[in-house]
Amino acid sequence: MIREIATNLLRALVGLFRSRAALLAENAMLRQQVIVLRRAVPRPRLKAHDRLGISAITKVFPSLLAAVAIVRPETVLRWHRSLWKLLWRRRSRRPIGRPPIDADTRSLIRRMWKENPLWGEDVIAGELAKLGHHVSPRTVAKYRPAHLPRGRGQKWSTFIRNHLGQTWAADWFTIVTLRFQIF
């Protein structure tokens, strides 16, 4: 009994030197606990807003963790950790992939492909950038109409025929001997 009185007097003296904000936070937390305990059930359950309030106050003022009487301090810390996990999970959730471009830019890309068959992805992306639509050449290639011919240049046989006069040596086959020398 004397020990409890001395402890309470010591806490009152320490309370005189604490900041007003800390005292108000402790008062709010104790009032919240009283509200929970006054619920008309034998063993009241804490609701989400009760947990949020208690864990937020103890995060801002860690010294108030000892003033929580209706749950253990480890429980409050667990609530706080789970709250931060939830917040960071929701904040870091983003849509997967590139953001879609608007419909008028897509139609403009298709129109440029149709009207300029000799232009490639890089040229169309550059022209779009001049108009204020900043898209990558890969995005331009993605929205290319399917029925257009690819125009990938000449065939290999045409290349050989055109450059036959300039070709003076070609190493088409390599033969390795038994002594691992190139023949």
pLDDT (tens digit per residue) in 137-164: 999 988 888 887 766 667 888 888 888 8
Mark which of 115, 131, 146 sits at the end of a domain: 146
- Angle between the N-to-C axes of helices 121-130 and 103-115, in degrees from 0 to 180, rounded to the nearest 10: 130
Whether 106 is in a domain gets the answer: yes
Q: Which residues span the domain enclosing 75?
A: 2-91
Check residue 108 and give its pLDDT: 93
Domain total of the chain: 2
Q: What is the pTM of this model?
A: 0.36
Same domain, 87 and 6: yes
Same domain, 15 and 78: yes
Same domain, 21 and 75: yes
Whether 111 is in a domain gets the answer: yes
- What single-letter amino acid sits at 27? N
Same domain, 114 and 68: no
Same domain, 77 and 36: yes
Whether 181 is in a domain gets the answer: no
Same domain, 85 and 114: no
Q: Give the whole-angstrom CA distance, residue 174 versus residue 182.
A: 7
Q: Give the whole-angstrom CA distance, residue 69 versus residue 35.
A: 13
Evaluated on CA atoms 49, 78, 38, 43, the torsion sign reads positive
φ/ψ of 170, rounded to 5, equals -145, 130
The percentage of residues in the chain with a pLDDT greater than 90, rounded to a whole number, is 15
Whether 127 is in a domain gets the answer: yes
Chain segment 87-134, per-residue pLDDT in tens: 888 888 877 777 788 999 999 999 998 898 888 889 999 999 999 999
Same domain, 102 and 64: no
